[in-house]
């Protein structure tokens, strides 16, 4: 039965996407946004919205790609703002916001995963058959195996809203097609759960992409689902602020890899591990992004020569990779500066400069007073300015303190689930 389902045609990981939405919830600061997205009554909409963007791929429908990106999501966003006139207390408004934030989670998750994790998998799973097998599907089985997978929900699309909005975005699609696509996403959820529960399927998919399969629960890998959920939580806060016209409530730079104060950054310029990746709060106008927006200096003030910035995925992307022309000098502290004027697709430009630091020095030993305090922004770090309201500073560092003590936080989950994994030894 399982293998008769048309899931082989998918090139995605919907169990992973839904798990990321779920795991982002504990990272939200307490407040209206957390209250809305954690509302059990709205999970149906958040999960369906998280699934929606991949539904058309298997049918060759253009709406899928469109649904991943901020220009379409902004149309839905604008429709919500106009329809509810800034009053989001009705159940319908809350349902639409949950669905929209599902789309946001999916699109941002893909950007984080593809720019960081998949780039590593290309190197570490270079021997895999990338043309005929799907890393997204294999890694979805890994997440299904590690977490038990997700519930298959009744498929739902707000078709009366999406059909005209897709037309506005230049995509002709009817309601029935959107519903068919959403049904296929539900099939993919069933697949991730069922295949993930079967040792033969685990082995099959693990063999296809051994590194990618084995590191999905590894917080030590940039772009792994744990980090996707962290970026998604931050992105949700940006979107929520915009929904309330609080444009000064977030900074142009939303997240970075490495993070401010990180040590032991790899030096090898040829490795994806040495990249410095900046996630912006808004989609970028890639064509207008000048190389001189970005500078890296060492502690003595010497500027480090960088390759042309790589706007990952180009148009509307949030992610920019920076890489040094030569290896990063060893045992050195660096400051990354992102100048004001970065152009975003909503017609705005960033008004403030952003900076953060990283180091190729080894991590100070535990107990060393130089060691950064776990999970806290040091005073004056760029992240301490990233407050979304007074209670909202949440910062994740290399010393990975488990998130807010909730049972579902990823580190706790990783530990709890380790015994169920065929790759338990790999779990940190």
Residues of the shown chain interacting with Zn ion in the complex, contacts defined by CB under 5 A = 12, 53-54, 110
CA torsion, ordered 23, 225, 44, 84, to nearest 10 deg? 90
The least distance separating Zn ion from the CB of residue 73, rounded to whole angstroms, comes to: 13
The least distance separating Zn ion from the CB of residue 177, rounded to whole angstroms, comes to: 17
| Cβ nearer to Zn ion, comparing 12 with 201 | 12
| Cβ nearer to Zn ion, comparing 74 with 110 | 110
Q: What 3-state class would DSSP assign to 66?
A: helix
The least distance separating Zn ion from the CB of residue 189, rounded to whole angstroms, comes to: 14
Strand partners, 336: 296, 356
User: Where does 8-60 have alpha helices with state H?
Assistant: 14-24, 32-37, 43-51
| Cβ nearer to Zn ion, comparing 53 with 343 | 53
The gap between the terminal CA atoms of the chain, to the nearest Å, is 35
Say if residues 324 and 304 touch (Cβ distance below 8 Å). yes
CA 261 – CA 174 distance, rounded (Å): 50
The least distance separating Zn ion from the CB of residue 57, rounded to whole angstroms, comes to: 8
The least distance separating Zn ion from the CB of residue 54, rounded to whole angstroms, comes to: 4
| Cβ nearer to Zn ion, comparing 53 with 155 | 53
- From residue 7, alpha-carbon distances to 66, 96, 141, 279, 304 in Å are 21, 28, 12, 31, 47
| Cα 135–chain centre separation | 17
Nearest to 358 by CA among 394, 397, 321, 385: 397
The least distance separating Zn ion from the CB of residue 12, rounded to whole angstroms, comes to: 5
The least distance separating Zn ion from the CB of residue 179, rounded to whole angstroms, comes to: 18
| Cβ nearer to Zn ion, comparing 106 with 282 | 106
- From residue 236, alpha-carbon distances to 58, 98, 339, 351, 392 in Å are 28, 10, 24, 21, 13
Say if residues 275 and 321 touch (Cβ distance below 8 Å). yes
CA 79 – CA 280 distance, rounded (Å): 23
| Cβ nearer to Zn ion, comparing 13 with 261 | 13
| Cβ nearer to Zn ion, comparing 106 with 120 | 106
């Amino acid at each position: 039965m399982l293998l008769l389902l048309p899931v082989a045609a998918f090139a995605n990981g919907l169990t992973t996407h839904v798990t990321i939405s779920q795991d982002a919830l504990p990272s939200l600061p307490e407040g209206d946004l957390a209250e809305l997205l954690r509302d059990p009554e709205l999970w149906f909409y958040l999960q369906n919205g998280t699934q929606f963007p991949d539904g058309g791929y298997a049918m060759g429908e253009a709406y899928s790609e469109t649904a991943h990106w901020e220009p379409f999501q902004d149309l839905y966003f604008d429709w919500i703002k106009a329809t509810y006139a800034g009053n989001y207390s009705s159940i319908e408004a809350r349902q639409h916001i949950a669905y929209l934030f599902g789309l946001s989670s999916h699109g941002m998750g893909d950007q984080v995963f593809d720019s960081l994790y998949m780039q590593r998998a290309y190197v570490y799973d270079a021997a895999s058959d990338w043309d005929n097998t799907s890393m997204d599907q294999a890694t979805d089985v890994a997440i299904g195996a590690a977490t038990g997978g997700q519930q298959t929900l009744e498929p739902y699309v707000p078709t009366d809203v999406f059909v005209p909005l897709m037309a506005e975005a230049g995509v002709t699609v009817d309601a029935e097609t959107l519903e068919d696509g959403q049904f296929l996403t539900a099939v993919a959820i069933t697949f991730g759960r069922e295949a993930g529960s079967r040792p033969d399927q685990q082995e099959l998919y693990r063999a296809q992409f051994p590194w990618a399969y084995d590191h999905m629960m590894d917080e030590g890998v940039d772009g792994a689902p744990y980090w996707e959920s962290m970026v998604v939580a931050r992105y949700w806060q940006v979107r929520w602020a915009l929904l309330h016209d609080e444009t000064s409530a977030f900074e142009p730079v939303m997240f970075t890899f490495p993070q401010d104060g990180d040590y032991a950054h790899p030096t090898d310029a040829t490795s994806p591990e040495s990249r410095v990746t900046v996630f912006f709060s808004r989609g970028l106008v890639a064509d207008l992004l000048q190389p001189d927006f970005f500078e890296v200096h060492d502690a003595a003030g010497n500027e480090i020569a960088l390759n042309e910035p790589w706007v990952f995925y180009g148009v509307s992307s949030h992610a920019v990779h920076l890489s040094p022309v030569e290896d990063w000098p060893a045992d050195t502290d660096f400051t990354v500066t992102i100048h004001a004027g970065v152009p975003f697709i909503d017609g705005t430009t960033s008004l403030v400069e952003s900076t953060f630091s990283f180091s190729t020095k080894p991590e100070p030993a535990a107990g060393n007073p130089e060691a950064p305090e776990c999970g806290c922004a040091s005073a004056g770090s760029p992240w301490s300015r990233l407050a979304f309201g007074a209670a909202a500073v949440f910062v994740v560092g290399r010393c990975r303190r488990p998130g807010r003590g909730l049972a579902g936080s990823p580190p706790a989950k990783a530990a709890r689930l380790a015994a169920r994994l065929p790759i338990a030894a790999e779990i940190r």
